[in-house]
Amino acid sequence: MLKGATIGDNCVIAAGSIISSSIPSDSIVKRNTNFYVEKIQYKN
């Protein structure tokens, strides 16, 4: 995690990910060649 980046509540971050920007709450960060953020969807 780099300086200035924040991680919101209820996030899942893949091992080995480098967090360089803020991640919103309820997000999943998946790591491939490039990482991307996906919103967690809750079932009612």
Domain locations in the chain?
A: 1-44
Query: Residue 34: what residue type?
Result: N
Place of tokens 């309820």: 26
Give the tokens for residue 43.
């079932």
pLDDT, tens digit (0-9, with 9 covering 90-100), for 18-33: 888 888 898 888 875 4
Q: Please, what is the average pLDDT of the chain?
A: 83
Q: Work out the average pLDDT over 2-30.
A: 88
Q: Is pLDDT above 90 for 9?
A: yes
Average pLDDT over residues 13-18: 86
Note the residue count of the chain.
44
Which pLDDT value is given to residue 32?
58
Token digits of residue 8: 């919101």
| Residue 3 banded pLDDT, cuts 50, 70, 90 | very high
Burial label for 8, CB within 10 Å (0-12, 13-18, 19+), is: exposed
